[in-house]
Amino acid sequence: MDGSACNRIAPANSILLKGVNMHKGFDSRLDQGWWVLRIGLGIGPFLAGLDKYFNLLTNWPAYISPLALKILPFSGQTFMHIVGVIEMVVGLAILTKWTRLGSYVASAWLLLIAINLVSTGMFFDVAVRDVEMALAAFVLARMTEVRRDALESDISHEPNANAVIAA
């Protein structure tokens, strides 16, 4: 079999193959994963941001690096209030039409939090968890791009509902 036969037929596991397991051009198995990530990464930051005002989950200022506390022009609690607003906005962005942007911001934000935690000399377990969540947020952003492209392609090819879209 020569190389020219490759890609003539889209593989059955292609995420952009229309067929039995498809919902608007995006594999339903990936769509479920997209929704789980979107809801989890949207609600989590929103609730953590809200808790920056109540400290019910933890004493948030304890996670601020001593180096950061030295350069902040205000108290650690005030800083956490600012962080809380940002986290709530990012969470809402992920839950609304700005999922892609919010996910990229969450990914970068979580990496910065992990760096802060490592610089405390403690909380390495939390830093590792935050890096893992940053990876999940990055994956959500990328899945959102693929999902958007699949949905846009589906709209532009709607009359030909059984067509195979090249991946």
Mean pLDDT of the chain: 84
Alpha-carbon gap, residue 57 to 15, rounded angstroms: 39
Which pLDDT belongs to residue 156?
66
Please choose, from the candidates 51, 11, 16, 61, the residue with its C-alpha nearest in 3D space to the C-alpha of residue 152: 16
Amino acid found at 125: D
Report, as an integer, the average pLDDT of 121-128: 96
**For 47-84, how does the pLDDT look when each residue is reduced to its tens digit (9 = 90+)?**
999 999 999 999 999 999 999 999 999 999 999 999 99
More confident: 154 or 121: 121
Which pLDDT belongs to residue 166?
40
* pLDDT at 138 exceeding the cut of 70: yes
Domain boundaries, the chain: 25-156
* pLDDT at 146 exceeding the cut of 80: yes
Which pLDDT belongs to residue 20?
39
Which pLDDT belongs to residue 87?
97
Neighbours of 95 (CB within 10 A): 17
What values do phi and psi take at 26, rounded to 5? -125, 125
**For 1-51, how does the pLDDT look when each residue is reduced to its tens digit (9 = 90+)?**
455 444 444 444 444 444 434 445 678 889 999 999 999 999 999 999 999
User: What 3 state SS string does the chain have?
Assistant: CCHHHCCCCCCCCCCCCCCCCEECCEEHHHHHHHHHHHHHHHHHHHHHHHHCCCCCCCCHHHHCCHHHHHHCCCCHHHHHHHHHHHHHHHHHHHHCCCHHHHHHHHHHHHHHHHHHHHHCCCCHHHHHHHHHHHHHHHHHHHHHHHHHHHHHHHHHCCCCCCCCCCC
pTM: 0.77
Which pLDDT belongs to residue 26?
75
